Amino acid sequence: MEILQAIFLFIQDEILGMKWLNTVIGNLLDGLGLNSTSRFGGSIQFFMYDVIKITVLLCLLIFIISYIQSYFPPERSKKILGQFRGIGANIISALLGTVTPFCSCSSIPLFIGFTSAGLPLGVTFSFLISSPMVDLGSLVLLMSIFGARVAVAYVMIGLVVAVLGGMCIERLHMEKYVEEFVKNADSVNIEATTLTKKERIAYAKEQVIGTFKKVFPYILVGVGIGAVIHNWIPEQWIETVLGGRNPFGVILATLVGVPMYADIFGTIPIAEALLAKGAQLGTILAFMMAVTTLSLPSMILLKKAVKPKLLALFIGICTIGIMIVGYMFNLFHTVLL
């Protein structure tokens, strides 16, 4: 058992976490005359380490996930979802969201396609919640920073929020609040082209390049903010606002996260810095969920497909779900870390 634990910790710290890289960068900066323990040197070390680590993991994960995704084009996903009913359909829809685009804006066109194909509204909303909030990439990246227990708990609870949110919308019979152009859109029912292995690899490479170009600016911004938090903002400030002494920390983090636009790759370095400064785990995860699920640009895009009442219900369900998750993680903060 001790051997297995040692192997697991090695994978988590040295392969996923790349702690060896942090040491190398620190030694390099010291060799160049920049003290890596100073504020400025520490900021440079944090920035270089996180940018390189997240970029490497990002490209690797996108390639793997895109290769898997090549087996689940929209037409095939529609057929899979159409075979299930009830809570089973919501669960499958949420799981399919884990192998689809990395941000909410790119999930919405698929949501519109699924809805126009006649799939139950609650099922399509389970997909819409899950897709940006929970993906295979988030599992690996969260594991590299927070550990396996936090990563698995985040993904599992995110899926629960997606399933329950979709079921709630389904029970309220909100179909009349979907815009007519979505209901009347032509559904594409053609069989997906069978791709060869070489074509799937080429597709995965294209996705890596396209997603990297789109995501990398947010990584730079996120890591930059994280470096400032990590080395320049006093720990007492973070503990006062987002620590256990503020019972409204989760609510504040959720409301701050909603108008932002990024994906999980851009929020993780901020979360990493906040955790190091004493912010509670649930408060940090609530911020991440709010940014990835309820960003203002994605809500503006969704407003074109649904009427205000349904949009407000979606935002309300997600916001309440995120806050509940945040307080739950805060309650078990010491157990998970």
Question: Percent of the chain, pLDDT > 90?
Answer: 10
> Residue 259: pLDDT above 50?
yes
Q: Are 249 and 283 in contact (CB under 8 A)?
A: yes
- At residue 105 the predicted structure's pLDDT band, cuts being 50, 70 and 90, is low
Q: Which two tokens stand for residue 50?
A: 């996180």
DSSP string of 63-114, one letter each residue: HHHHHHHTT--HHHHHHHHHT--THHHHHHHHHHGGGS-SSHHHHHHHHHHH
Q: Which residue has the higher pLDDT, 191 or 298?
A: 298
- At residue 39 the predicted structure's pLDDT band, cuts being 50, 70 and 90, is confident
> Residue 48: pLDDT above 90?
yes
- At residue 53 the predicted structure's pLDDT band, cuts being 50, 70 and 90, is confident
Stretch 306-313: mean pLDDT: 90
Count of positions (residues) in the chain: 337
| Count of other CB atoms within 10 angstroms of residue 12 | 18
**pTM given for the model:** 0.75
Domain boundaries along the sequence of the chain: 2-185+196-336
Per-residue confidence (pLDDT) for residue 26, from 0 to 100 = 92
Q: Which two tokens stand for residue 154?
A: 């985040």
- 3-state secondary structure (DSSP) of residue 276: helix
Q: Which two tokens stand for residue 52?
A: 């390189």
Per-residue confidence (pLDDT) for residue 127, from 0 to 100 = 87
Stretch 88-100: mean pLDDT: 83
Q: Which residue has the higher pLDDT, 131 or 311?
A: 311
Q: Which residue has the higher pLDDT, 8 or 89?
A: 89
Mean of the per-residue pLDDT values for the chain? 81
- 3-state secondary structure (DSSP) of residue 246: coil
Per-residue confidence (pLDDT) for residue 191, from 0 to 100 = 46
CA–CA distance, 109 with 70 (Å, rounded to integer): 17
